[in-house]
Structure 1
């Protein structure tokens, strides 16, 4: 979008927050870059230059605006809606792959050479993978500086910097302030909320594009919560997180204009990844205007969209975990699926301490589940075979469901496993892989809702009608499910 100068100028002049994260405005006369909705007086159009990423702005020598803080914008919705190599690379960078495995590791996961990935990212984003990862590290450093009492040396390495000097130079270059000045400014803004007020807990806000309907989003997560791993407590969805360097516990609560997030981590190097996975789970980088405009064009869906616009697709923080849970939930009620998953967690999950609630375990990883005795599973024999085949493929790497997975290839691999029909493949594609066009025409709730709305109720006819909803059929699923009175559609009381 950043190449459409006229459209970008209009968005900046109207301070349109819908475009935050889509592009960034660099102001030649001041040397700063802003989000489109920056509250400052808009610069003259001839002084604006538009970039597709914060990293590109930083590479061009611009520093982040201290007023609108463009580095905290919602992420571009493009990277969650596309399945090409650039989008897959961005999802992996966001998940910390470059920091952990370098550019060669990123390229290997995508099946390209490092030169090809560099070229594609620079062509579309104006910056290579190292610059994009550096911009992400700078944002992580800012969060830790402003929300924790950690010493600056600890923050430097927790943010992924290789040295304190690089950390200091980057912070000064990106924010035009030293790390100490950033912390002092944060303390002045919130004098009653000193960093570290709750030891070991990081508190922050997760922004999103409005509108957002939290009922189905949090209702679904709470209604399907696995005992010991997830819970709804005091108006927040809480769960344990398995992360690259350790583990954590997160509490997420819907608030006007943002999601309140409380994170407790055993290793602060996991902060960026934890935030990224929480945003992914809650689908916070979606563009609700684009989704709802497409779905509202169908007269049958328009009343549902108008009633509660901005529905998101509830996803997962761990794709392998969700795939296992999808198998456990085949042809049983939500309550039975929770019971099966809870037993698996109690028997094979790693215990954790939760001083603030009732969480007890991490969900067991595939490598641990691959070693279990199938006879110990209280499941029909055919579903045991489905589960053990799935976890074996995940454990040995034959099947990959990571953020950089090719959606089409993953679907093909899943469909080849015993016991994986269209419903299971598509629900994993929708909630684990994040395919915005995944559709569930065989789902009983979808067929019932379709019949009530006067839509075709047979899978083939409904699929044909749903072609007009593409590429947002996964969101249509959320609106169709909303026609039911199931607890997944409502915030718990």
Structure 2
């Protein structure tokens, strides 16, 4: 497949905190689909007219973006997806100002201003990976996803497009997870659209109706695939541990009530809370 190369500078409003942003993408990267090499994050892109790859390197005042495309008509879409992936259109002054109004979050915001929400360039892919990652470690989730990509992925340059069609019976996961995956794949074929800008209420209702889709999975998909700035994960273990360390309520219902003060930016509060733990998603490898 012949690919044509384009290079662009992606602007953003400073500050931008890179640790959890690139750290999360790197720690969860699917081998073959994504890679981190010499300070550059790369991944494949599924686009309207064809496919391609994107390479992203952070500089103090911009992100250097190199895309390789099979069809030139996809350039604007590819750049938009890269901006969405890195949450480059966020307004850090508004987000930080709102969260810092809470005395318990203020020290976290002061220590790491400009946190972004790491997102995805492909909502359907992300939903499939979210199911693969249910109740397993980050490493195990990557392993399952890499096997799937190797078996069914489509080559694009030296990377692979993550497959959206496969037989769930092939997965080395419990039967209940295979049933959940089958329901998701059927929903995606039937019109479930998890693209940025789609109707979030409709997507939430459809996902919630699927077997095996609890609040954690649904809200994670809303946050990272559809760009919901106000998604929240009160049942997440990392969030509850962070809440305990900060003197916040730890039961999901009480924490959800307390988080009302962080609207409409609860997705960014999630990033700050996650970052209180010592986990690889919070740092860029040396």
State the TM-score, normalizing by the size of structure 1: 0.57
Aligned equivalents of 2:197 and 2:99: distance in 1? 28
User: What's 1:243 paired with?
Assistant: 47
User: What's 1:7 paired with?
Assistant: none
How far off its partner does 1:305 sit?
0.2
How far off its partner does 1:260 sit?
0.9
How far off its partner does 1:400 sit?
1.9
User: What's 2:193 paired with?
Assistant: 400
User: What's 1:430 paired with?
Assistant: 223
1:433 is paired with a residue whose SS is coil
Alignment partner of 1:312 is 2:120: no
How far off its partner does 1:200 sit?
3.4
Aligned equivalents of 1:457 and 1:272: distance in 2? 44
Deviations 1:415-458 (A, max 9, x none): 00000001001000100111100000000000001100111111
How far off its partner does 1:375 sit?
2.5
Deviations 1:30-88 (A, max 9, x none): xxxxxxxxxxxxxxxxxxxxxxxxxxxxxxxxxxxxxxxxxxxxxxxxxxxxxxxxxxx
User: What's 1:187 paired with?
Assistant: none
Structure with greater helix percent: 1
How far off its partner does 1:289 sit?
0.5
User: What's 2:279 paired with?
Assistant: 486
Alignment partner of 1:284 is 2:117: no
1:309 is paired with a residue whose SS is coil
User: What's 1:97 paired with?
Assistant: none
User: What's 2:235 paired with?
Assistant: 442
Deviations 1:146-203 (A, max 9, x none): xxxxxxxxxxxxxxxxxxxxxxxxxxxxxxxxxxxxxxxxxxxxxxxxxxxxx93211
Aligned equivalents of 1:467 and 1:243: distance in 2? 37
2:139 is paired with a residue whose SS is helix
Alignment partner of 1:363 is 2:167: no
Q: Could you tell me which of 1, 7, 16 is aligned with 1:212?
A: 16
User: What's 2:207 paired with?
Assistant: 414
User: What's 1:266 paired with?
Assistant: 70
How far off its partner does 1:325 sit?
0.6
Contact residue 232 and residue 492 of structure 1 kept, 8 A: no
In angstroms, what is the RMSD of aligned CA positions? 1.1
How far off its partner does 1:395 sit?
1.4
Number of paired residues? Answer: 284
2:221 is paired with a residue whose SS is helix
Aligned equivalents of 2:86 and 2:107: distance in 1? 24
Stretches of structure 1 that go unaligned for 5 or more consecutive residues are: 1-198
Deviations 1:196-231 (A, max 9, x none): xxx932111100011100111000000000010001
User: What's 1:375 paired with?
Assistant: 169
Stretches of structure 2 that go unaligned for 5 or more consecutive residues are: none
Alignment partner of 1:460 is 2:253: yes
User: What's 1:345 paired with?
Assistant: 149
User: What's 1:254 paired with?
Assistant: 58
Larger RCO, structure (CA 8 Å, separation 6 or more): 2
How far off its partner does 1:352 sit?
2.6
